[in-house]
């Protein structure tokens, strides 16, 4: 029994969709779980009732709505509600796919840097383009903090510009690394149980209680992380959008 | 490993199995660039699909339900406030009506009392006047009766005196001297 904590991240093509240049475009297990996430969100948001007194499903839908809306209002102000569909889509997509991915034998979309990177770049360019479109050159005020003495202003500006362009990196790597590390840790600890049992027999099965307990505890933590990282991704998106809406605050 | 994946995918893309996945399991899947194009394309398709569903259908639907509930609650509260205001106004109107009725009743009472007093006073006055007039008439009658009686008394006295003198003396006295004597004795 060999522990292979990496195997769960494999991309398995299910069928080919076509070719772009010399790249084969396949419908993979990742695509399948994206479809699952979209389907779950659609069922949640569209199959729930719209009654005056909400039922269970409708309550969940309304709580998600209010949760994302209040997050946007508190971080980016009322003007940030323009981006409500985008932030809601990002949050629900990541939250649902992360929670689905925590179920054993499933695949976690956000465990691939290419996916989180693409989403982070989507946010980055949304901020950049909307900021320039709305504020013109005043948008660059975000690089010039107010009240900074003139002799250290060049240094501060350099740091601000660097951090602005590193945003998509930290934004995407944070989510990717959390999901990847959590799943690897779970797999390793769960693997210990089976490895001890198969190699040491009865003693091993008794000894496996400790890693099993750790697996259970880690699993609970991972459920929290799955939600929390989606929330962090969404709230950072709000904070970045706030810069585009109100530069030089 | 990236090449081997790409190579394996090329000829028999439809026939990929678990075994095929595990044979290049030595690499680190998140960094296998051969899978990037597939992932990006499916992410683009599904994220755009999700965005359209969310922005065109889901959010207006749920937002509408929340807003409808909010409006209903606000409408009900406004209705309750309106009804409360109405009942307050009715209570105030009732109280002011009661107060005005009370003052009116008092005014009517005062007025009728004064009227009755005035009437009684007037009646008393006329009665007194009538009594006074009758008293005066009676007094006058008494006086005239008395003077008449007195004048009769003088005549009778004069006659009687004439008779007495005649009886005593047998001389018929002079009427004038009898009258003067009577007058003198009446005065004295």
Q: What is the pLDDT of residues A143-194, one digit of tens each?
A: 888 888 888 888 999 999 999 999 999 999 999 999 999 999 999 998 888 8
What helix, strand, coil percent values describe chain B, rounded to 5? 90, 0, 10
Minimal Cβ distance to A113: which of B21, B30, B64:
B30
Going by pLDDT thresholds of 50, 70 and 90, the confidence category of residue B188 is low
Per-residue burial over B16-55, b = 16 or more CB atoms within 10 Å of its CB, e = otherwise: beeebbeebeeeebbebebbbbbbbbbbebbbeebbebbe
pLDDT beyond 60 at B32: yes
What average pLDDT is seen over chain A?
90
Sequence-ordered list of residues with C-beta below 8 angstroms from that of A134, at least 6 positions apart, any chain = A244, A245
Of A247 and B62, more confident: B62
Per-residue burial over A149-186, b = 16 or more CB atoms within 10 Å of its CB, e = otherwise: eeeeeeeeeeebeeebeebbeebbbbbbebbbebbebb
The predicted pLDDT at position B6 comes to: 37
Among A9-23, A200-214, B48-62, B172-186, name the one with the lowest average pLDDT. B172-186
Q: What is the mean pLDDT of residues B21-46?
A: 77
The predicted pLDDT at position B14 comes to: 38
- Please write down the long-range contacts of A191-194, taking CB distance under 8 Å and 24 or more positions apart: A191/A1, A191/A3, A191/A5, A192/A3, A194/A1
Contact indicator for A11, A27 with CB cutoff of 8 Å: no
Minimal Cβ distance to A34: which of B18, B31, B43:
B43
The predicted pLDDT at position B168 comes to: 86
Alpha-carbon gap, residue B157 to B179, rounded angstroms: 9
CB-based contact A15 B13, cutoff 8 Å: yes
The predicted pLDDT at position A249 comes to: 59
CB-based contact B72 A52, cutoff 8 Å: yes
Alpha-carbon gap, residue A247 to A134, rounded angstroms: 10
Phi/psi at A54 (5° precision): -70, 150
A110 in contact with B at a CB cutoff of 8 Å? no
The predicted pLDDT at position B19 comes to: 38
In the numeric block, which tokens belong to residue A4? 């292979």
State chain B's maximal CA–CA distance in angstroms: 205
Residue whose tokens read 């909307």: A130
For residue B12, the distance in angstroms to the closest alpha carbon of chain A comes to: 10
Of B33 and B63, more confident: B63
The predicted pLDDT at position B26 comes to: 53
Alpha-carbon gap, residue B40 to A115, rounded angstroms: 7
In the numeric block, which tokens belong to residue B5? 């994946």
Contact indicator for A75, A240 with CB cutoff of 8 Å: no
pLDDT beyond 70 at B95: yes
Among A86-95, B28-37, B95-104, name the one with the lowest average pLDDT. B28-37
* Digit-coded pLDDT (tens) for A97-136: 999 999 988 999 999 999 999 999 999 999 999 999 988 8
Contact indicator for B178, B156 with CB cutoff of 8 Å: no
pLDDT beyond 80 at A228: yes
The predicted pLDDT at position A2 comes to: 64
Alpha-carbon gap, residue A141 to B83, rounded angstroms: 55
pLDDT beyond 60 at B21: no
Contact indicator for A233, A173 with CB cutoff of 8 Å: no
B23 in contact with A at a CB cutoff of 8 Å? no
The predicted pLDDT at position B90 comes to: 96
Alpha-carbon gap, residue B139 to A27, rounded angstroms: 145
SS3 per-residue string spanning chain A: CCCCCCHHHCCCEEEEEEEECCEEEEEEHHHHHHHHHHHHHHHHHHCCCCCCCCCHHHHHHHHHHHHHHHHHHHHHCHHHHHHHHHHHHHHHHHHHHHHHHCCCCCCCHHHCHHHHHHHHHHHHHHHHHHHHHHHHHHHHHHHCCCCCCCCCHHHHHHHHHHHHHHHHHHHHHHHHHHHHHHHHHHHHHHHHHHHHHHHHHHHHHHHCHHHHHHHHHHHHHHHHHHHHHHHHHHHHHHHHHHHHHCCCC
* Digit-coded pLDDT (tens) for A51-84: 888 888 999 999 999 999 999 999 988 889 999 9
The predicted pLDDT at position A52 comes to: 83
B167 in contact with A at a CB cutoff of 8 Å? no
Sequence-ordered list of residues with C-beta below 8 angstroms from that of A140, at least 6 positions apart, any chain = A247
**B residues 99-158 near A, CB within 8 Å?**
none
* Digit-coded pLDDT (tens) for A7-26: 888 888 888 888 888 888 88
DSSP 8-state symbol, B97: H
* Digit-coded pLDDT (tens) for B129-157: 999 999 999 999 999 988 888 778 878 88
Minimal Cβ distance to B30: which of A20, A35, A111:
A111
């Amino acid at each position: 029994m060999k522990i292979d904590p990496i195997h769960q991240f494999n991309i398995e093509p299910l069928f080919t969709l076509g070719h772009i240049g010399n790249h084969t475009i396949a419908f993979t297990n990742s695509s399948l779980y994206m479809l699952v996430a979209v389907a779950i969100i659609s069922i949640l948001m569209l199959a729930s009732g719209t009654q005056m007194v909400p039922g269970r499903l409708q309550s969940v839908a309304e709580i998600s709505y209010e949760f994302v809306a209040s997050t946007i209002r508190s971080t980016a102000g009322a003007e940030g509600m323009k981006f409500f569909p985008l932030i809601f889509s990002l949050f629900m997509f990541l939250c649902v796919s992360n929670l689905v991915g925590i179920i054993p034998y499933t695949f976690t979309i956000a465990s691939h840097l290419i996916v989180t990177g693409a989403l982070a770049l989507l946010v980055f360019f949304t901020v950049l383009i909307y900021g320039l479109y709305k504020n013109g050159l005043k948008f660059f005020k975000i690089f010039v903090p107010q009240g900074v003495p003139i002799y250290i202003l060049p240094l501060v500006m350099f740091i601000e510009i660097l951090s602005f362009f590193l945003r998509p990196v930290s934004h995407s790597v944070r989510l990717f690394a959390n999901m990847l590390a959590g799943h690897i840790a779970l797999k390793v600890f769960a693997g210990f149980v089976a490895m001890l049992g198969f190699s040491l027999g009865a003693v091993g099965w008794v000894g496996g209680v400790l890693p099993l307990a750790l697996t259970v505890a880690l699993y609970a933590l991972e459920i929290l992380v799955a939600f929390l990282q989606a929330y962090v991704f969404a709230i950072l998106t709000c904070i970045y959008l706030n810069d585009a809406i109100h530069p030089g605050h | 490993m990236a090449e081997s994946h790409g190579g394996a995918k090329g000829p028999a893309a439809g026939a990929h199995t678990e075994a095929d996945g595990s044979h290049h399991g030595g690499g680190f899947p998140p960094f296998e660039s051969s899978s990037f194009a597939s992932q990006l394309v499916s992410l683009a398709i599904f994220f755009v699909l999700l965005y359209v569903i969310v922005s065109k259908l889901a959010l207006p639907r749920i937002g509408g339900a929340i807003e409808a509930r909010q409006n209903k609650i606000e409408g009900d509260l406004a209705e309750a406030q309106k009804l409360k205001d109405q009942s307050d106004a009715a209570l105030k109107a009732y109280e002011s009506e009661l107060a005005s009725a009370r003052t009116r009743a008092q005014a009517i009472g005062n007025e009728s009392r004064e009227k009755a007093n005035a009437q009684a006073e007037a009646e008393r006055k006329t009665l007194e006047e009538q009594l006074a007039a009758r008293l005066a008439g009676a007094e006058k009658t008494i006086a005239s009766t008395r003077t008449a009686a007195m004048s009769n008394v003088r005549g009778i006295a004069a006659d009687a005196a004439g008779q007495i003198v005649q009886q005593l003396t047998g001389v018929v006295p002079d009427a004038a001297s009898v009258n003067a004597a009577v007058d003198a004795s009446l005065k004295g």
